[in-house]
Amino acid sequence: MLHRLLVVSDLPRCPLPLTEQVALALRGGPFALILRDKHLRWEERTALAARLQPIVDAAGGGLIISDPAGPVSAAHLSSRFPVPEPRPALVGRSVHAGEPIDPGLDYCTYSPIWLSESKPGYGPAIGLAALREACAASPVPVFALGGVDGPDRARAAREAGAAGVAVMGAVMRADDPERAVRELRAALD
């Protein structure tokens, strides 16, 4: 199941170990966690995924692996990463402004809507009008990504037609990740 809130992992910037940060965040309600942290070797990411899976499952969330090097049930792919074989049950892709959206996907993240503290210098920000156009034209659900730093921007993205939002710093760097998730989820409903 795909939630309206996608949280992208950011192991180096978490104030706590990732498993603890995610467990605290999930107290605010379920979400789908995209395990990104591609700086880790595949074996390290799968070991981390194995530790995260029961935490995410117990809270009713989902676990999506970014750019997998082996079989997974849910994958989030960077723009040039091929769809794995066998095809996972859920496949999403990062799409940047001006790129086509593949109708064979289950969802996509579309970015950067706003400038992002997680990826400084990445941009330019495309804004809500471009998000609205992308959502209207997309054959798959679109999740706003980039600079979604709190509930006001999450709400604005939904009002522009996004199926939901993908966040990194708003939850991964939060001192109170439970509250951050609760507020984001409330803004998305």
**Amino acid 98: pLDDT:** 85
pLDDT beyond 80 at 121: no
Instruction: Answer with the residue of higher pLDDT: 120 or 83.
Output: 83
Q: Going along 54-189, which residue ranges are E strands?
A: 62-66, 74-77, 90-96, 107-111, 142-145, 164-167
Share of the chain above pLDDT 70, in %: 96
Q: Which among 167, 169, 173 has a CA at the least distance from the CA of 185?
A: 167
Average pLDDT value over all residues in the chain: 95
Contact (Cβ atoms closer than 8 angstroms) between residue 83 and residue 91:
yes
- Over range 144-165, report the average pLDDT: 97
Model's pTM, two decimal places? Answer: 0.95
CA distance 8 to 111: 14
CA distance 56 to 63: 7
**Amino acid 147: pLDDT:** 94
Contact (Cβ atoms closer than 8 angstroms) between residue 145 and residue 164:
no
The domain tally of the chain equals 1
- Over range 137-149, report the average pLDDT: 96
pLDDT beyond 90 at 80: no
33 phi, psi to nearest 5 deg: -95, 125
Residue 21 structural domain: 5-188
pLDDT beyond 90 at 184: yes
pLDDT beyond 70 at 123: no
What CATH number is given to the structural domain containing 113? 3.20.20.70
- Over range 71-76, report the average pLDDT: 96
Contact (Cβ atoms closer than 8 angstroms) between residue 157 and residue 127:
no
Which element (helix H / strand E) includes 188?
helix 177-188
- Over range 66-90, report the average pLDDT: 95
